[in-house]
Chains A and B, each alone.
Chain A
Amino acid sequence: MNKVIITVVGKDTVGIIARICTYLAEHRANILDISQTIVQGYFHMMMIVDMSGADLEFLQAADELEHLGEDIGVVVKCQREEIFESMHRLTSLSQ
């Protein structure tokens, strides 16, 4: 499994989730979990996405999602899940 965390932060508007989900579906990235909330008037969304079946490399997807976010007026960030796992879970890291 090649899991990526996508976070979206910005002013709430129509179709943020739709645009991002459409992009992921087009590239065969599988959404495992999705949650959203509004904090102090700002839209926060987090997705856990499995990229192992996707038809593009991580860095390309990260760049394109970032640009997609700029179009909508939100900040989209893609990060591999391991950074959060390593900070918040006592799982063993290799080596």
Chain B
Amino acid sequence: MLRIDMSEVRETNEMIEKENLDVRTITLGIGLHDCISDDLERLCTAVYDKITRKAEHLVETGEAIGREFGIPIVNKRISVTPIAMIGAAACRSEADFVKLAGSLDRAAGTVGVNFLGGYSALVEMGMTRADELLIHSIPEALSTTGVLCSSVCLGSTRAGIDMDAVRLMGGVIRATAEKTADQDSLGCAKLVVFCNAVDDNPFMAGAFHGVTQPDEVINVGVSGPGVVKTALEKVRGASFEVLCETIKKTAFQVTRVGQLVATEAARRLQVPFGIVDLSLAPTPAVGDSVADILCEMGLTEAGAPGTTAALALLNDQVKKGGLMASSSVGGLSGAFIPVSEDQGMIAAARSGALTIEKLEAMTSVCSVGLDMIAVPGDTSAAKISGIIADEMAIGMINGKTTAVRVIPVIGKKVGEEAQFGGLLGSAPIIPVGSADCDAFIARTGRIPRPVTGFRN
């Protein structure tokens, strides 16, 4: 085999040093079924003990791997089995679930991870008593913990959409916003609803350790929008074929780094390797933007006509390039478009080029959905439920994952900005339209499984 030469070393290190190539997260999934008890104290102790034991070396291992390969590993995270299942026998009230949330948050603090996900319920076919209690407890749980993340799966292609839960979540998102109003409603940044949620997602706020998973697993999410953007600078004006090839090759390289880090982390922690999530995940840093890639393709701003096509192309090439680079691809895999976490998206939302309606169209061709979008603080619960229902419908009909993470910023209106800090960034508050959907959301029951769900 040919020895690595200097230009290759320089290329890799420029990607890391100048183009923000990083491994976005190593996420350790931990199954908590063996902690189940009908005694709340015993459950809380067992959960805390298991997480702190299994993840004891996660952070130091991630840092050592990052140091040895010379690549930043930005986040070390934990996902756990959806807590509505784990707490079902012991939690008889919302307060009981909040107490369990406290134990999860303390365990995350003890091992030093950035986030712990899995304060979750999967209710696409309907809610159990425990699911309802957990969902009602979310505002209190998220306002009294630091790094805990919550997700609720409301629908799927195989099940349809639980509209009762959609209605409930509109109110829960508002209540969470109100409880964290002093921080620009930050609690909502840690809460996401899904259609077609996946069991192996390493990204927050939506990571949970699915029930189909082994006891423990290592999932890795890569990133590198800056690397793709820089590669595209060299092919300005070239044909779509050249554009696509360039993205594919870059995605391949980025994903290989993820695969390397994932296998190394799995080996050192003696935990099975799960998947690499082929994601282009932006951060608020300059040069780490998915919107900038769209602009490099030839748009003046994200949101311009052509945006959906450009994003579809980008998402598909990232997958094509990444699939061969990893032995096991999973999670959400594609381009993320969180508004507050992407300089280019923020600028486009500020100028009015990017609207919530355009974002909704974009979510039909890329990873996940309406993400980190700040809306006026007086947006009604029913309207939030309407936004959720639309997004769930896109996911259900098209057999893809979609999600909603909107933040009704209490006390702020269109034109003002919300500041979340750190990787969560800042977001201009954008309008949601004046027409109402109250009577639609007030209906009870479910939207049944669509015809596309009958594949047997």
Given contacts A79-B70, A88-B12, contact A48 B3 (CB under 8 A): yes
Smallest CB separation, B351 vs chain A (Å): 37
Q: Does A28 contact B (CB under 8 A)?
A: no
Question: Complex formed: what's the CA distance from A87 to B327 in Å?
Answer: 15
In the complex, chain A residues whose CB is within 8 Å of the CB of B256: 86-87, 93
CA gap between A79 and B70 in the complex, in Å = 5
Q: Does B68 contact A (CB under 8 A)?
A: yes
A55 contacts partner chain B, Cβ-Cβ < 8 Å:
no
Number of interface residues of B (CB under 8 A): 28
Interface size on A, residues (CB 8 A): 28
* Interface mask (B174-207 → A, CB under 8 Å = 1, otherwise 0): 0000000000000000000000000000000000
Chain A, interface SS category = mixed
B11: chain A residues at CB < 8 Å are 88
Q: Are A59 and B68 in contact (CB under 8 A)?
A: yes
In the assembled complex, how far is the CB of residue B171 from the closest CB belonging to chain A, in whole angstroms? Answer: 45
Q: Does B404 contact A (CB under 8 A)?
A: no
CB contacts (< 8 Å) of A79 on chain B: these are 68-70
Residues of B within 8 A of A88 (CB): 4, 8, 11-12, 253
The 5 closest A-B pairs by CB, nearest first: A79-B70, A86-B256, A83-B69, A86-B260, A84-B4
Residues of A within 8 A of B (CB): 5, 7, 33, 35, 37, 44, 46, 48, 58-59, 62, 77-89, 91, 93-95
List 18 A–B pairs whose Cβ atoms lie within 8 Å, in order of A's numbering.
A7-B10, A7-B13, A37-B6, A46-B9, A48-B3, A59-B67, A77-B13, A77-B70, A78-B70, A80-B68, A83-B12, A84-B8, A86-B257, A86-B260, A88-B8, A89-B4, A91-B1, A93-B260
B interface with A by C-beta (< 8 Å): 1-6, 8-13, 64, 67-71, 253, 256-257, 259-260, 263-264, 266, 273, 327
